[in-house]
């Protein structure tokens, strides 16, 4: 919590004022639990329960605190560290969050997270390494999973509720002060950090003068990350007076690398700039700083820009600017994987499918996707039922679309299509589980934006364009074969694009995914501009009321050939960047015979296209044997 300095007061059992305040909070707290559990708790029981809690106050590791923001009473927290000899169900050595309440009018304002951080720090002081709780499934589970708790297989014998656990973090943050200047100088000057940051030479006195100036700058704030009371990292955030803040420096002590401190610092910076009303944050690094790039991508950052820069050692290097917007999104963490959604949500059902190791949360379809592993096998999981960062529609519409999409995958089952394993309702949402296939999507837009996508050698789009032409023709063949299959099944494709194609660069295996919007014929354009990428879309996909039929499929296949068989000339790249389909032979990497077939397929005049997909495939195969 940054906007306000919260005050926490430990309740004393012999303080009448404390007792009355606690009673006034327990009444609405118990009433809310009753509403969620469809029960009525007698008032005399609430009174007895309240005073039984007060009577147990005294031990150093039992915490019952009121939370204030100035003079406003926000709520209370109640927890203890389980010890041998305690009554009831216990987990010795664990911190146990027993009760936790925020008055409804103060929710969704950051108080809950601040109060949780308070009790977590108390547990850390008490020596607890883990903590647990069981909670109300309606408001509690979404909040606590957002705080990083995960469901276990244990159920409390006292209330038959699932136990949630989390490791106690002992990291904390303090403002950088003059006494920290020498520590920061040491960690940034060590060999490995200096090499990663490409820092220049500076004496300690020069550094002190620079730091004193920076500490006085109202447009930036410096922090020290501590492990307990030991300083372990330096974090600097600036551009606080603009709409886009920057993490301008993050350096972790070399002895504490690869311990999650960098991720912790970035997330702290996000919370800090969010408290300033800023909704976008950026980070800059150089292309050779692999550890930094991996950290930022893991935390949901995307490459915004790629340009040459002069680093501190005076050398010109290629720099990368990462950014993440939607800082008002809710941060979630499952199995150590961080992701962001538009509102708190209970994802405990995911643990029943497997352990999460990757999440795709920047989806505008209304789905959020997980990659999970169980018994050595991986699965791709689509879920609709939560507001994602990019989705602007109704959640119930996303659920309906996913249910309809499941029927498409069932009806169009094919060796080149990812295999649907299972699908079912989860609460108010819907889930579809697919076998995982190795490979990379040929349009990974979440990792590459603009120029870096088609010029970066790391991008799958760039690497595919530099494969031998025959390998790329083989992929076009498979896409044609699959779409002949869908035509035979009475379907037309909608929203087929580079991200629908998965190519394994090690084995040359190819699969198709993301065909959720494929629809049964007869079909008409009921949207005007339909979903999809402009490079693949036929004229009728822009015309309200137009027929979508087999000639639409022919156009798509011709457009796909132009996309996958384009060469690496500047003209080709510029057409791709402009979202256009280049029909120039100068941008084509295969034979003239194949070019002519593809060109006929993408005729704007429907009457000039091949009449059927079979006719197109016949012409394509015939052209493959013509060497011109």
With the CA atoms of 532, 537, 539 and 540 taken in that order, what torsion angle do they form, in degrees rounded to the nearest 10? -60
The predicted-structure confidence for 597-627, as pLDDT tens digits, reads as follows: 999 999 999 999 999 999 999 999 999 988 7
CA distances 104 to 27, 32, 107, 148, Å, are 13, 10, 5, 22
Residue 402 lies in a domain: yes
Residue 357 lies in a domain: no
DSSP element (H, E) containing 404: helix 395-411
The predicted-structure confidence for 254-312, as pLDDT tens digits, reads as follows: 888 888 899 889 989 998 998 888 889 999 999 888 888 888 887 878 888 888 888 88
pLDDT band at 591 (very low <50, low <70, confident <90, very high): very high
Domain encompassing residue 372: 338-352+363-435
pLDDT of residue 579: 53
The predicted-structure confidence for 172-210, as pLDDT tens digits, reads as follows: 888 999 999 999 999 988 888 888 888 888 899 999 999
Mean pLDDT of 450-462: 65
User: Do 77 and 118 belong to one domain?
Assistant: yes
Residue 575 lies in a domain: yes
Q: What is the mean pLDDT of the chain?
A: 88
Query: Which one of 121, 152, 169 terminates a domain?
Result: 169
Residue 570 lies in a domain: yes
Among the listed residues 564, 574, 573, 570, the one whose alpha carbon sits nearest the alpha carbon of residue 595: 564
User: Do 44 and 181 belong to one domain?
Assistant: no
pLDDT of residue 581: 63
Residue 358 lies in a domain: no
Q: Which of 49-63, 153-167, 439-453 has the highest mean pLDDT?
A: 153-167
User: Do 307 and 348 belong to one domain?
Assistant: no
DSSP element (H, E) containing 536: none
What CATH number should be reported for the domain holding residue 532?
A: 1.10.510.10
pLDDT of residue 232: 92
Mean pLDDT of 580-600: 88
The percent of residues above 90 in pLDDT, for the chain, comes to: 49
Q: Is the pLDDT of residue 583 over 90?
A: no
Mean pLDDT of 385-392: 85
State the Cα–Cα distance between residues 283 and 262, nearest whole angstrom.
12
Contact 322, 283 (CB under 8 A): yes
What CATH number should be reported for the domain holding residue 383?
A: 3.30.200.20
**Residue reference for tokens 């679309």:** 401
Going edge to edge, which strands form the sheet with 510-512?
440-441, 501-503, 510-512
User: Do 278 and 307 belong to one domain?
Assistant: yes
pLDDT of residue 576: 55
Tokens of residue 450, six digits: 């603009």
Query: Which one of 417, 435, 453 terminates a domain?
Result: 435
User: Do 42 and 124 belong to one domain?
Assistant: yes
Mean pLDDT lowest for which of 73-87, 175-189, 330-344?
Answer: 330-344
pLDDT band at 575 (very low <50, low <70, confident <90, very high): low
The percent of residues above 70 in pLDDT, for the chain, comes to: 94
Distance of CA 208 to the CA centre of its chain: 39
User: Do 105 and 186 belong to one domain?
Assistant: no
pLDDT of residue 577: 57
pTM of the predicted model as reported, rounded to 2 decimal places: 0.67
DSSP, residue by residue, 320-338: EEEEE--TTSEEEEETTEE
pLDDT of residue 571: 67
User: Do 235 and 316 belong to one domain?
Assistant: yes
Mean pLDDT lowest for which of 238-252, 266-280, 519-533, 578-592?
Answer: 578-592
User: Do 146 and 109 belong to one domain?
Assistant: yes
pLDDT band at 574 (very low <50, low <70, confident <90, very high): low
> What backbone phi and psi angles, to 5 degrees, belong to 205?
-65, -40
User: Do 543 and 415 belong to one domain?
Assistant: no
The predicted-structure confidence for 302-323, as pLDDT tens digits, reads as follows: 888 888 888 888 899 988 899 8
Tokens of residue 604, six digits: 């704007």
Q: Is the pLDDT of residue 582 over 80?
A: no
User: Do 472 and 573 belong to one domain?
Assistant: yes
User: Do 314 and 254 belong to one domain?
Assistant: yes
DSSP, residue by residue, 64-110: EEEEEETTEEEEEEEEEE--TT-SSS--TT-EEEEEEEE-GGGTTSS
Query: Which one of 126, 154, 169 terminates a domain?
Result: 169
State the Cα–Cα distance between residues 541 and 527, nearest whole angstrom.
9
Q: Is the pLDDT of residue 456 over 70?
A: no
- Cα(first)–Cα(last) distance of the chain, in Å? 68
User: Do 621 and 504 belong to one domain?
Assistant: yes
pLDDT of residue 5: 62
Number of domains in the chain: 4
Mean pLDDT lowest for which of 72-81, 138-147, 394-403?
Answer: 138-147
What CATH number should be reported for the domain holding residue 292?
A: 3.40.630.30
CA distances 430 to 269, 420, 463, 514, Å, are 34, 14, 35, 16
State the Cα–Cα distance between residues 612 and 600, nearest whole angstrom.
12
> At a CB cut-off of 8 Å and minimum separation 6, what does 586 contact?
569, 571
Mean pLDDT of 547-568: 94
Residue 331 lies in a domain: no
Cis amide bond preceding 522, omega within 30: yes
Tokens of residue 414, six digits: 């094919």
């Amino acid at each position: 919590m940054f906007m306000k300095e919260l005050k926490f007061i430990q309740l004393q059992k012999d303080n009448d004022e404390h007792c009355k305040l606690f009673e006034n909070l327990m009444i609405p707290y118990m009433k809310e639990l009753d509403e969620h559990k469809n029960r009525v708790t007698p008032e005399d029981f609430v009174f007895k329960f309240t005073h039984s809690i007060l009577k147990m106050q005294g031990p150093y590791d039992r915490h019952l605190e009121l939370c204030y923001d100035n003079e406003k009473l926000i709520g209370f927290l109640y927890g203890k560290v389980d010890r041998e000899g305690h009554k009831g169900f216990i987990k010795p050595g664990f911190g146990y969050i027993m009760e936790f309440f925020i008055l409804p009018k103060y929710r969704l304002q950051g108080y809950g997270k601040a109060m949780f951080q308070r009790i977590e720090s108390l547990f850390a002081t008490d020596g607890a390494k883990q903590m647990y709780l069981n909670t109300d499934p309606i408001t509690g589970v979404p909040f606590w999973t957002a705080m990083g708790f995960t469901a276990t297989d244990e159920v409390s014998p006292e209330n038959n509720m699932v136990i949630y656990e989390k490791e106690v973090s002992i990291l904390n943050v303090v403002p950088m002060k003059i006494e920290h200047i020498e520590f920061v100088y040491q960690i940034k000057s060590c060999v490995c950090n200096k090499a990663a940051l490409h820092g220049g030479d500076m004496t300690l006195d020069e550094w002190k003068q620079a730091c004193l100036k920076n500490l006085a700058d109202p447009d930036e704030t410096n922090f020290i990350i501590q492990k307990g009371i030991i300083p372990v990292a330096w974090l600097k955030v600036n551009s606080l007076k603009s709409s886009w803040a920057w993490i301008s420096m993050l350096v972790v002590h070399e002895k504490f690398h690869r311990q999650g401190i960098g991720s912790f610092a970035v997330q702290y910076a996000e919370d800090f700039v969010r408290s300033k009303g800023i909704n976008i944050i950026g980070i800059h690094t150089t292309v050779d700083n692999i550890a930094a790039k991996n950290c930022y991508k893991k935390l949901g950052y995307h490459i915004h820009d790629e340009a040459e820069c002069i680093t501190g050692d005076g050398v010109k290097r290629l720099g990368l600017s990462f950014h993440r917007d939607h800082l008002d999104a809710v941060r979630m963490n499952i199995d150590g994987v961080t992701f962001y959604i538009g509102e708190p949500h209970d994802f405990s059902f995911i643990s029943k499918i497997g352990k999460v190791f990757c999440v795709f949360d920047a989806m505008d379809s209304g789905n959020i996707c997980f990659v999970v592993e169980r018994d050595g096998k991986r699965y791709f999981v689509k879920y609709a039922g939560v507001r994602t960062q990019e989705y602007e529609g109704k959640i119930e519409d996303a659920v309906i679309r996913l249910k309809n999409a499941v029927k498409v995958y069932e009806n169009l089952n094919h060796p080149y299509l990812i295999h649907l394993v299972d699908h079912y309702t989860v609460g108010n949402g819907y889930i579809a589980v697919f076998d995982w296939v190795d490979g990379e999507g040929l349009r990974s837009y979440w990792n590459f934006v603009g120029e870096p996508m088609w010029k970066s050698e790391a991008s799958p789009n760039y690497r595919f364009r530099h494969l031998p032409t025959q390998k790329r023709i083989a992929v076009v063949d498979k896409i044609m074969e699959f779409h002949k299959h869908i035509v035979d099944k009475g379907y037309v494709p909608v929203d087929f694009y580079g991200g629908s194609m998965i190519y394994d660069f090690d084995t040359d295996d190819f699969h198709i995914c993301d065909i959720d919007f494929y629809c049964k014929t007869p079909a008409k354009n009921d949207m005007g501009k339909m979903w999809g990428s402009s490079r693949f879309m036929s004229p009728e996909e822009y015309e309200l009321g137009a027929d979508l039929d087999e000639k639409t499929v022919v156009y798509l296949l011709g457009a796909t050939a132009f996309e996958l068989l384009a060469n690496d000339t500047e003209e080709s790249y510029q057409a791709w960047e402009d979202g256009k389909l280049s029909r120039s032979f100068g941008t084509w990497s295969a034979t003239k015979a194949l070019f002519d077939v593809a060109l006929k397929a993408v005729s704007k005049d429907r009457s000039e296209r091949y009449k059927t997909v079979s006719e197109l495939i016949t012409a394509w195969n015939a052209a493959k044997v013509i060497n011109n």
